[in-house]
Structure 1
Amino acid sequence: MDMIVGSTIDVRCTVTPPDGVDISSITPRMAVIPTWYRAGPQPADWHDAAWTDGTTALLLVGPNGAVDPALGDHHVYIQIDPPGAQVIVEMAGHLSVTVE
């Protein structure tokens, strides 16, 4: 996905839940991390997202959103914490922030 710096867009991630697990009542969390940062998302990087349907999460990204990424390339992560011991974290995509 591409975005122009200064714009605010919806970033969407689709999740495949574990068999038999209803994730519709679980708040999805998303993180947008520069690709050069190799440690992965830290606790402060996660932002509450919203479901658009049962498996697609949405995060508003940009100056008026939950996170305003700098110019460059970023990994997009999603996290869901269903009941039980599992916490699911997946790299869900790529976001490139450009000047045009």
Structure 2
Amino acid sequence: MVIPATSTEYLHVPVTAPAGTDLTGAPVKIAVVAHGDNPSDDEWHTAEWADDTARLLIGPDGGALTLTRGTYRVWISVDPPGAENIVRLAGSLTIN
């Protein structure tokens, strides 16, 4: 995905839950990082559900974070009911 640095918009991360699992009420977080390591605790941002997609508002006009030009790794964390807390690399994002 490519987003201009001047744009404020939702970053959408599609999520496919296992059959029979409802993630609607499960806490979800998104991290957008420029480094190759796993996100640190302070890089996670609380996201929200929009159907089967987690979304986070990013950008200079009220976004959870403002990104400068570059390539970023997008991570998602979902905490469904039970013992699991699932963390996955969701893809990449280019800000131009």
Same fold at TM > 0.5:
yes
Q: Give yes or no for the alignment of 1:86 onto 2:93.
A: no
In structure 2, runs of 5+ residues without a counterpart are none
Question: What are structure 1's unaligned runs of at least 5 residues?
Answer: none
Aligned to 1:77: 75
Letter in 1 for 2:31: A
What secondary structure, in the 3-state scheme, does the structure 1 residue paired with 2:37 have?
coil
- Structure 2: how far apart are the matches of 1:42 and 1:19? 30
Match of 1:30 in 2: 30
Query: How do residues 1-100 of structure 1 correspond to structure 2 at under 5 angstroms?
Result: 1-34=1-34, 37-53=35-51, 55-63=52-60, 64-98=62-96
Give the TM-score normalised by structure 2: 0.90
Tell me, in whole angstroms, the C-alpha distance in 2 between the residues paired with 1:5 and 1:19: 37
Offset at residue 6 of structure 1 (A): 2.2
The percent of aligned pairs where both chains have the same amino acid is 39
1:77, distance to aligned residue in structure 2 (A):
0.9
Q: RMSD value over aligned CA atoms? A: 1.2
Please list the CA deviations of residues 41-75 of structure 1 after superposition, one character each: whole Å capped at 9, or x if unmatched.
Answer: 1111111111111x211110111201112210001
**1:19: Cα distance to partner?**
3.4
Specify the code of the residue in structure 2 equivalent to 1:40.
N
Paired with 2:32 and 2:25, the residues of 1 have a C-alpha distance of: 23
Q: What SS is found at the alignment partner of 1:40?
A: coil
